[in-house]
Structure 1
Amino acid sequence: MRNFTIYLALLLCLFASKMVAQETFESKARAIANKIEKITKEEKEALKVEVEEVNVQFEKGTITKAQADQKKQDLAQARATIIENKVAVAQEELKDLVQQKVNGKIKEGTSPDSTTIRFGKRLILKFENDTARTKNYVYKEKRTTSQFVFALGLNNVVTDGSVENSDFKFIGSRFYEWGLTYNTRIAKNNNLLHLKYGASVMYNDLRPTQNKVFVVNGDQTNLETSPINLKSSRFRNVYLVAPLHLEFDFTEKKEKDGKTYFRTHESFRFGIGGYAGVRIKSKQKTEYKIDDIDYDVKAKGDFNASNFIYGLSTYIGYKETSLYLKYDLNPLFQDNAIKQNNVSLGLRFDFN
């Protein structure tokens, strides 16, 4: 028992000494990083005070605008030189600290294979397998972003160029869409034009009026009155599509610390384009009651529906929310004598 206690004490002492060595290195590295940030902050604040004094002199009329501009330029150059000289001293301290670690003068216990320490937003010190590397990180503006899209609204069909005398309920017939899109800024330094593309799943529901259902007769799919009194009747097509839009985004660019940032979906947006894809499935669901027994019947098949879908779409809105309109150029049923085209109107949400 006594030997075990001695071994345990020695083990704890060894572990503690290794942890202290590691904490000493990291604390020294962070102290140097804080010193660099402090130097930059203090010199910028001093420059700000000096520039304000020059502005006061200009407002009092003791110096001209040209003289004021020249003084500001000279002051900025002087402060930049001071920052460069002071930071150079701190960087030498960092270099010496890194060399000590590489040479094994600063011992560590078991540690991860890699450690990363950041110095502000730009300088990164990374250790991999006891090898120290430094690199400058420069922010790069992303020209392509992604959004989750969800849309819903009213759905119906256009027959002979009109929806006024539609055989489908205007409120009960709906559409849903969800998917993922990518938004790429076309111009490097202009935020107006974007190319928006991706993949979506579309659900187009139609609810017939006057107790009607779709009946397949050969290559024709007709809307006929059901011999059973229906509580509900619904026909649904599901599609997998690839939408493509040219988007006009009026979000203004932002400037900070001498850099220009482009954001999206923060102002008015307008998109125009289309979509194309394939039909995944078709289904008709009817509900009725006979002798106090409720029936819920689902019939699946192609119903002679067009296998491919393509159409035009547009949206206009503010930030994430838009008014969304889409129109199928392909007929709902591929061989029907009367051509009917699906049309949808609703709300669209693009979440960054």
Structure 2
Amino acid sequence: MRNFTIYLALLLCLFASKMTAQTTFESKAKAIADKIENITKEEKATLKTEVEAVNVQLENGSITKEEADTKKKDLAQARATIIENRVAVVQEELKDLVQQKVNGKIAESKTNDSSTVRIGKRLVLTFENDSTRRKKHYEYRERRTTSQFVFALGLNNVVTDGSVENSDFKFAGSRFYEWGLSYNTRIFKNDNLLHLKYGASLMYNDLRPTDNRVFVVNGDQTNLEYSPINLKSSRFRNVYLVAPLHLEFDLTEKKVKDGKNIFRTHESLRFGIGGYAGVRIKSKQKTEYKIDDIDYDVKAKGDFNASNFIYGLSTYLGYGETSLYLKYDLNPLFQNNAIKQNNVSLGLRFDFN
């Protein structure tokens, strides 16, 4: 809705036929844009109150979770309809304002050589005019914090007694995936080298045992054992919700435009070092095999004695949005196994601005 507000304000400015009348016209356009934004804020606040009331009913046991979800969905749809109807009324004011401008009914001022309209916290629309031409440009306030979508993938395995040699898991078949949202904050106001990178991610660590083996739980021990069935495939997966934290060194040079410093990120060599911590969401073992021309696909879900909490070290080195990514779990894969094994992953990481 905020983007819609900005679009409407810009549309009104484009309709202006004389730049000397811009101040009066822009003030009215800004007032209408504020109306639209306030409508959205009011209805969202009302919806929040209504949802909280439903949550109270759910906590008191007067309604079921399914009934609560249905009520919340109906309330959201009702508020969306109300917002649409209220905005439609304000849109009529927009039409009237444009028509008044076209008809020359809005008062003009011939003393201003330029005018500026600020919409929201960052977008600034500036008009400069003289007798022969008019100019318009956009100016964004400096932001020290930006956001990125993170996606990573690569090879996954375990370290046993400090080494991955003679691993019980296939090197090419065992993989990891990670995706999430990160925030990048420049630490110093006038220097672009150091950044703090933080956010939330989902990590998927897959292991494919060698030699027709599967994980079997024996009390508090989880062991790899040979399967009596000839397996087409065997895979063990842990899924984690984690909060990564990195100190990032970004060599992207600052730019100067109109006498102002502009700091960009992810446009040069980057290096990050830090770690992550989180919780295990689920564990699953999947086996595929064939008996008497019948294909079987078996999925077993449980905790498998896997560690409930994950924490580790990670680092990446790359250029632009692409990096080589290494992460190592400091916690053991299984909580009480006699032999401690730690997950290690190596792959590519993409930070999309």
Tell me the TM-score normalized by structure 1.
0.66
Give the structure 1 partner of residue 190 of structure 2: 189
Task: Show the counterpart of 1:7.
Answer: none
Q: How many residues align?
A: 254
| Correspondence for 2:332 | 331
Alignment of 1:1-352 (within 5 A): 29-32=16-19, 110-112=92-94, 123-124=116-117, 139-352=140-353
Q: Does the aligned pair in 1 maintain the 2:22–2:115 contact within 8 Å? A: no
Contact kept in structure 2, 1:122 and 1:138, CA below 8 Å: no
Structure 2 vs 1, CA of residues 304 and 96 (structure 1 numbering), >3 Å: closer, same or farther? Answer: closer
Deviations 1:163-191 (A, max 9, x none): 01100000000000000000000000000
Unaligned runs of 5+ residues in structure 2 are 1-11, 30-90, 102-111, 120-124, 128-137
Shift of the 121–167 alpha-carbon distance from structure 1 to 2, 3 Å rule, reads: farther
Contact 2:26 2:117 in 1 (8 A): no
Give runs of ≥4 in structure 1 deviating > 4 Å: 25-29, 93-101, 113-117, 119-122, 134-138
Tell me if structure 1 keeps the 8 A contact 2:312–2:327.
Answer: yes
Shift of 1:304: 0.1
Q: Which amino acid letter does the alignment assign opposite residue 288 of structure 1?
A: Y
CA distance in 2, matches of 1:239, 1:281: 7
- On the 8 A contact 2:180/2:202 being kept in 1, the answer is yes
Matched residues in 2 for 1:348 and 1:327: separation? 15
Task: State the partner residue of 1:70.
Answer: none
Contact 2:275–2:313 under 8 Å retained in 1: yes
Indicate conservation of the 8 Å contact 1:243/1:275, yes or no: yes
Cα distance in 2 between the residues matched to 1:206 and 1:233:
9
CA contact (8 A) 1:154 1:171 kept: yes
Cα 1:120–1:249 shift into 2, 3 Å? farther
Q: Deviation at 1:139?
A: 3.7
Deviation (angstroms), 1:257:
1.0
C-alpha distance in 1, partners of 2:156/2:28?
A: 71
Residues 277, 312 of structure 2: 8 Å contact kept: yes
How much identity, in percent, do the aligned residues show? 78
Q: Does the 8 Å contact 2:114/2:126 carry over to 1?
A: no
Deviations 1:103-160 (A, max 9, x none): xxxxxx952399799x99971289xxxxxxx999964200000000000000000000
Equivalent residue of 1:111, what SS?
A: helix
Q: For 2:93, what is the secondary structure of its paired residue?
A: coil
**Inter-partner Cα distance in structure 2 for 1:155 and 1:100:** 60
* Cα deviation, residue 259, structure 1: 1.1
**Contact between 1:310 and 1:328, CA under 8 Å: does it hold in 2?**
yes
**What amino acid is the match of 1:316?**
L
Q: Note closer, same or farther for the CA distance 1:256–1:222 as it changes in structure 2 (3 Å cut).
A: same
Cα distance between partner residues in 2 of 1:296 and 1:96: 70
Contact kept? 2:23, 2:115, Cα under 8 Å: no
Alpha-carbon distance between aligned partners in 1 of 2:96 and 2:264, rounded to the nearest angstrom? 34
Partners of 2:27 and 2:324 in 1: CA distance: 61
Shift of 1:235: 0.2
Q: Please, what TM-score do these two structures have when normalized by structure 2?
A: 0.66
RMSD of aligned residue pairs (Cα, Å): 3.2
